[in-house]
Amino acid sequence: MSRWLPRTYLTLIYLLLYVPILVLVVFSFNDSRTGYEWGGLSLRWYEALFNNRAMVQAMWNSLWLALSAATVSTIIGALTALALHRYRFRGKKVLNGMLFIVMMSPEIVLAISLLALFLLVGLQLGYVSLLLAHVTFCLPFVVITVMARLSGFDERLPEAARDLGASDFTMTRTVLIPVIMPALLAGWLLGFTLSLDDVVVSTFVSGPSYEILPLRIYSMVRVGLKPEVNALGTLLLVFSLVMLMLSQWILLRSKR
């Protein structure tokens, strides 16, 4: 019983999570424009999508931005969490407070205040400004996730490492990082997801040189949600699943 109950529960929740996605996939093959009735099978939305070069470019831009933002925010976020957890220094409360403020600030406030800052220091809007902004709003999510993991951590391990003569850096690398790995993974995923999804902040801190996908999708709804968006969602899903399987395959091979 203790085996099938969790499994049934997991399956149920996964089903619920995937139902809306399945709807999206099915409707991406729907010939009808409106979406509430079935107009026959068609690939026209995929064709329309591929002919939209700007959209495809925006998709790549988005993926690249999300990858880099998630990675940078995981590194900085993990270091922040480690510093908060291990080091004594002045202003810990201030640091915590700042992270809280980032989480709490309505996106529009974050967006306009960051834009004002970038203009103040004369930063050209584009990839760099987007990266700085995305890393900033992903940061607290990583820190909180890693902190939760660290708080349950046995303090004697790093002490032991240090007694054995390991430097702070070595100890972090060999003892702490492996311990917080699940939290790093979780934090990276949160960051990637947030970055891929952000509309409001990006609207303000992006420039014409670097248009990203959510902006296009968001403004698309003004003239009615086109079924092209369903096709796009399906492609993103397939892409993610392929990446996922690829990584699993590599993992299995390397273990062998």
Partner 1 sequence: MRSARQQPFRTAVLILVWGWLLFLVFTPNLLVVGASVMTRDPGTFISLPLNLDAYRQLLNPLYLEVFLHSLYMAAMTTLICLLIGYPFAWSLSKVARQHQVLLIFLLIVPFWTNSLVRTYALKLILATNGLLNSALMSLGLIEEPLQMLYTEGAVIIGLVYLLLPFMILPLYAVFDDLRDDLLRASHDLGAGRFSTFIHVIVPLTLPGVLAGVMLVLLPAMGLFFVPDILGGSRNLLVGNVIKNQFLDARNWPFGAAASIVLTLAMAFLMFAHRLSKRRIGEEGV
Partner 2 sequence: MKKLALATLLAVGLTGCSGSEEPQVLNLYNWSEYMPQEVLDRFTEETGIPVVYTTYDSNEAMYARLKLLDESAAYDLAVPSTYYVSKMRQEDLLMPIDRSKIEGFDNLDPELVNLDIDPDNQYSVPYLWGTTGLAVDTADVDGEVTAWADLWDERFEGRVMLTNDMREVFHVALRVLGYSGNSTNPDEIEAAYEKLTELMPSVRTFNSDAPRMPYLEGETDIGMIWNGEAVMGRDGLPTLEYVYPAEGIIAWLDSFVIPKNAKNPDAAHQFISFVLQPEISALISEDIGYATPNLAARDLLDESVANDRASYPNATDMINAEFQTDIGDEALQVYAKYWEMLKSGQ
Q: Which of residues 171-210 bind partner 1 (CB under 8 A)?
A: 172, 182-183, 185-187, 189-190, 192-193, 196-197, 199-200
Q: Which span sits near partner 1 by CB under 8 A: 38-46, 48-56, 101-109?
A: 101-109
Neighbour tally for 80: CB within 10 Å: 20
User: What is the residue whose two structure tokens read 């046995």?
Assistant: 154
Choice between 199 and 207, CB closer to partner 1:
199
Of partner 2, partner 1, none, which one sits near residue 246, judging by CB under 5 to 8 A according to partner kind? none
Show the binding pattern over residues 137-176: x = contacts partner 2 (CB under 8 A), - = does not.
----------------------------------------
Site for partner 1, residues 132 to 151, rule: CB under 8 A: 132-133, 135-136, 139, 141, 144-145, 147-149, 151
Site for partner 1, residues 33 to 72, rule: CB under 8 A: 35-36
User: What is the residue whose two structure tokens read 């902190």?
Assistant: 147
Site for partner 1, residues 104 to 133, rule: CB under 8 A: 104-110, 112-114, 116-117, 132-133
The number of residues that bind partner 1 (CB under 8 A) is 94
Neighbour tally for 132: CB within 10 Å: 16
φ/ψ of 124, rounded to 5, equals -70, 135
First and final C-alpha spacing in the chain:
33
**Least Å distance between CB 28 and partner 1?**
10
Of partner 2, partner 1, none, which one sits near residue 56, judging by CB under 5 to 8 A according to partner kind? none
Q: Which span sits near partner 2 by CB under 8 A: 90-98, 158-166, 220-228, 239-247?
A: 220-228
Site for partner 2, residues 39 to 58, rule: CB under 8 A: 51-54
Closest CA to 137 of 94, 91, 71, 198: 198
Q: Which residues contact 158 (CB under 8 A, 6 or more apart)?
A: 86, 171, 175, 176
Of partner 1, partner 2, none, which one sits near residue 28, judging by CB under 5 to 8 A according to partner kind? none
* Structural tokens at position 118: 């970038």
Rounded CA Rg of the chain: 22
Which of 5, 7, 36, 165 touches partner 2 by CB under 8 A? 36
* Structural tokens at position 58: 């925006």
- The CB-side HSE value for 15 (13 A sphere, CA atoms) comes to 6
Neighbour tally for 56: CB within 10 Å: 15
**Burial of 191 by CB count in 10 Å (0-12 exposed, 13-18 middle, 19+ buried)?**
buried
Binding site for partner 2 (CB under 8 A): 32-37, 51-54, 112, 115-116, 119, 121-128, 203-204, 206-209, 211, 215-216, 218-226
